[in-house]
Structure 1
Amino acid sequence: MSSPPPPFPARIELAGEGLVLRDWVEGDLGAMPALFDHPDIAYWTPMVSPFDGAAARARLERERRLRAEGTTILLAVTADGGAPLGEVMLRRAPEGTEIGYAIGPAHRGQGLAARAVRVMAAYAFEELGVARVILELEAENAASVAVATKAGFRLLDVPLITGEEKGRPFALQTWGLDRP
């Protein structure tokens, strides 16, 4: 029987690459629908759609529960610790330490996702001691393939992860970044 993962810190703030990744707070609930209620996010991610105020509240509560369980961190991507521009996730999973992200439509094209992924990867390497972080994404998601490449990840020679989400089949590639 394996022991549960060590808990994550109750509060996390990571700075680097011109970003501050910080905890989601109650004051962010009103901003979350504008970030996550979008067809791209509904299609490419498991986030609920439509993403409204109730979905924002549920996501904040879920983040707090998963962090307390030691499995997942969800952080707001910000320029300066203020208004959220998107989200970056770190999840301890059987297949590896996975990073995920979603950037609000109004904030795309600024390299936020690749920078947030690199900052979160550095946290995983330096604070959690992991040897590799992974991204799981669909080959057809050109924006995510570009993020993976820009963040320094390489496509791993492992089987596709297949399944169905929201009534559509998916096949995820696994991209990896090894500790420097």
Structure 2
Amino acid sequence: MTSTTSPFPSRLELAGEGLVLRDWTEADLAAMPDLFDHPDIAYWTPIVSPFDEEAARARLDRDRRMRADGTTILLAVTVDGGAPLGEVMLRRAPEGAEIGYAIGPAHRGQGLAVRAVRVMTAYAFGQLGLQQVILELEAENAASVAVATKAGFRLLDVPLIEGEEKGRAFALQTWGLSRES
């Protein structure tokens, strides 16, 4: 963490859009494999696969380290603060912040990702004072393109981010939303 990066709060709960975004806890470890051990998540995200209880523990530990470092926060997406339905991430980036998300297969089609992105974006603008939030996604990921569009993000005219993850080449587009002046 640099001296100009303020730490994230040790506990965080954000409410809005009919959702409660909350910290992951040990009580969530057993639910995480049902959310993240899925071919779509393995293909489109850097989340490890297969995703079992050991991977859940490692993810929770990593979440806590990244938050303490002031770089990243991972929050469980819930409707009432209870059972997790997915995850939303905010990572500090040169552009302001990057948001990422993954919704468990059993909970898709309810607008959870769009609403979680909106709530996290409001936090980035309102509480962190950031001027821009980005999403990095593959053009072929129609569900994520729909989330970006519905959440008000626009495709930015910047070079693709190319790389390889899990033995698969990818090219990420950058979508952005700027804070209203």
Q: TM-score range by the shorter chain?
A: over 0.9
AA at the equivalent of 1:137: L
Give the CA deviation at 1:94: 3.2
SS of residue paired to 2:147: helix
Q: TM-score, normalised by structure 1?
A: 0.98
Which residue matches 2:98?
A: 98
Deviations 1:97-156 (A, max 9, x none): 100000000000000000000000000000000001000000000000000000000000
Which residue matches 2:113?
A: 113
Give the CA deviation at 1:4: 5.0
Query: Distance between the aligned counterparts of 1:139 and 1:16, measured in 2?
Result: 28
SS of residue paired to 1:133: strand
Which residue matches 2:73?
A: 73
Q: Does structure 1 retain, via aligned residues, the 8 Å contact 2:21–2:116?
A: yes
Q: Does structure 1 retain, via aligned residues, the 8 Å contact 2:95–2:132?
A: no
Which residue matches 2:7?
A: 7
- Deviating beyond 6 angstroms after TM superposition, the runs of 4 or more aligned structure 1 residues are none
Q: Between the two proteins, what is the percent identity of the paired residues?
A: 83
Query: Distance between the aligned counterparts of 1:95 and 1:48, measured in 2?
Result: 26
Which residue matches 1:145?
A: 145
Q: CA RMSD in A?
A: 0.9
Give the CA deviation at 1:5: 1.4
AA at the equivalent of 1:57: R
Give 5+ residue unaligned stretches, structure 2. Answer: none
AA at the equivalent of 1:123: Y
SS of residue paired to 1:124: helix
Which residue matches 1:122?
A: 122
SS of residue paired to 1:143: helix
Give the CA deviation at 1:62: 0.2
Give the CA deviation at 1:179: 1.1
SS of residue paired to 1:114: helix
SS of residue paired to 1:175: strand
Which residue matches 2:20?
A: 20
Give the CA deviation at 1:96: 3.7
Which residue matches 1:166?
A: 166
SS of residue paired to 1:40: helix
How many residues are aligned here?
Answer: 179
Give 5+ residue unaligned stretches, structure 1. Answer: none
AA at the equivalent of 2:135: L
Query: Distance between the aligned counterparts of 1:155 and 1:173, measured in 2?
Result: 7
Query: Distance between the aligned counterparts of 2:50 and 2:96, measured in 1?
Result: 30
Q: TM-score, normalised by structure 2?
A: 0.97
